[in-house]
Structure 1
C-alpha cells in the first residue's frame, strides 16, 4: 500500500469569538492548509466536532462547512468522539487515503463553544460521560476528573504544588505560540491561588472554553508528496506513519483501574507497532492535557513515565527542551486552548510543523519522530498518531 503524507496545515487562533461562526473559522483554517499545500485541493473532507448538534442546533455539518468554504460537491462529513473527535477525524482521513478511496483528504476539526453560555457549554461537554449512570446525577466533566485527581494524590502522596508545575510550563510555552488562547506566562503562586472549580482542581488546572479550527492535508503516495514539496520549496517530507484508536468504559465505576486510561495504553501500543518504532524513538509529543491530572496520566499510560512518577519527573525538569521526548511545546490544551472537536487536529498540525522545522512558536530540537495523543471523555476513547520525517 502507498504511504500517507502530510503536505499542508492551517490553524486559526483559539479564543472566544462571538463575532465569528464555525463556518468562517473552518473556512479560514481550510484555505490556510490548502495554501500551505501549494494550492492542492482535497477530494474529500473529514471534520471532527463534538457539540454542533447541541450548541449550534446544527447537524449535516460537513456539507454546510464545505459549501461555505466554496467547495460544494465534495464528500464531507462530521466525525464525533467527544473531545477526541479531532483524533477520530485524523483516523478516518488516514483510512480514506490509505485505502485508495481518496488521494487527497482535508482532515479538519472545528468547535464553537461560545455558541452557548458557560453553563450550556459545561452541560454539552458533560455529555461525554455516561448519561444514565453519571450525567443524570448532575456530575460535570471537571467533577469526574477531580475525583481521579484526588485519588491519584492520595495514592501516590502528591500535593497541589506538585500538580501546579504542569500549567506553569504550559503557559510558558504558550507565550510563544501565536495561535494560543492564553499566550501568557504565570507563576506558581497564581496557579495555587486560582479559584477552586471542583476540589482539588483549580482554574489553572483546567483548559479554557474556546473556539477554533485546524486542518491538515493528507495525500497518498510519495510522488504526490514530493510534487507538493517541490512546489512549496520545502525539502522535508513528513509521513503520517500510523494512527490507532481504542476505547474504555464510559462510566468510571466500570473501570478496572481508575488511574489507568486503558484506551491510551492500547491505542499507543497499536500505533507504535504499526509505525514499526518503539517509544524510545519518539522525539516529540503532543499529549492531551484537558486537566493537569490528564497530562500526567497521559505520560504514564503512553509509556513515557512509570505509573505514579510523572509529576515527580516533570517537576525535576523532564520532558522539557533537550529531553526525549519533548512534550507539548504548543502550550497544550491547558494554554494553547481546547476547542474540543478540533484539538486532535491541532496536535497533528503542530507536530507536523515541528517536524518540518517551521512551527511558529516554541521549537523542538530537530525531531525526526513525533506522537500525538487525543482522548475523548475521561479516557473513554483515545486516538494516537505517529508522524516521522521521511528518509
Structure 2
C-alpha cells in the first residue's frame, strides 16, 4: 500500500526526521490560508498523487504571493497528472500540500527497501539526489552507497556514520544524518514498511538536513496489525479494478490486453498469460482465485474481471487440488446466468472432481467452450477473441 507525501512526512517526523512546515489543502482558499499559517516569503504547492516525477509533469509549483498560490491550486486540483510511473492513465489530483520553500546547497538520495534475496533491509544512498534512483544508477553508478542491515540487529550507528561520511557530508552534519537514518529504519521496521524513500534529502544553506520529499510503501499483509496505517489508504489513487478485487479478497493485477483470466495459483496464472501471448493475444489481467473457491467466490471473480471494459473474451483455467472442479463449474454457470455474459468464454478444468465439473458445464446449455489442456485453452480463447474482434 502506498501513501501520499504529506502522510509519509508526518510519520517520519515522529521518528526524528526533519521536514519542512506544511499543511494540506483541498481548495485554492485553503491553499492560501495554509501559506499564511506557515509564514515566510515563498511556498511550494505540491500535487498529492501516488507517483514520482510530479515536478516534470507540472505538479509542483513554487509561489511567492497569495495570487500565485491560488492560481497554482486552481490549476492543479482536478487535473490529471501523467508521469512515467502512472502511465497514460494518469492520476487525478484531489488534494494539495503547501509547505515552506527551502533553499539548499546539496541534494541527497536516501532509500530503504526490503531485499528479498538477502532477506535483509538494504539502505541505498547517493550524493546525486533529486533524480530517480534508476537515473542515478545509469548516470552516476559510482555515487550509490549500499549497506545491508540485519533485521535482527537493526541499523547500527557505525553503519549510519559510514553512509554519512561516504556521502561527503561535513563532520557537523554526520550526527544529523545518523539520526535521520536511524529514524528511517525505525519507521521502516515498526510500521511494517517495504520501502522508505527520501528524495531529495537536502543540505540547507544553514547546514541542516531536511527531507523535502518522502515516500513510504507498506506490506498489505501486515495492515491488520496497524489500523492507523491502514486508514491512510487513498482508493482514489489506485486502479479501480484492483481495488474492487482486493476488497473482495481476490489477488488481481490489471493489464492492458483484452482476454480476461480467472485462474487458481500464481504459477499457473503466469503460465496461462504466457500461453495467451504465444498464441498472439494479450491478457487483460492477472487473477488468482485462490484455494477453496466456492461458487460465490467464482462469481465475484467474474465481476472483478468484467469490470474492465476492455475485456472481450474470458478464460477460466483451474487445476483443482484444494479447489474442486464441480464448485468452480457451478460458479461459472451461476456467473454466466447472473451476469448475462455475452462475450466468448473458455473453461479448462483439471484435477479434483473434474468429471463432475465438466458434466455441470455440459448440461448447463450455455455457450461455453471447453478445453482439455492449457495450450488448447489459450488457443481457443485467442481464437474466440479474434473472431469477435473481426466481427466488430
- Verify same fold: TM over 0.5: no
Larger radius of gyration: 2
Q: TM-score, normalised by structure 2?
A: 0.22
Tell me the TM-score normalized by structure 1.
0.22
- Please identify which structure carries the higher strand content: 2
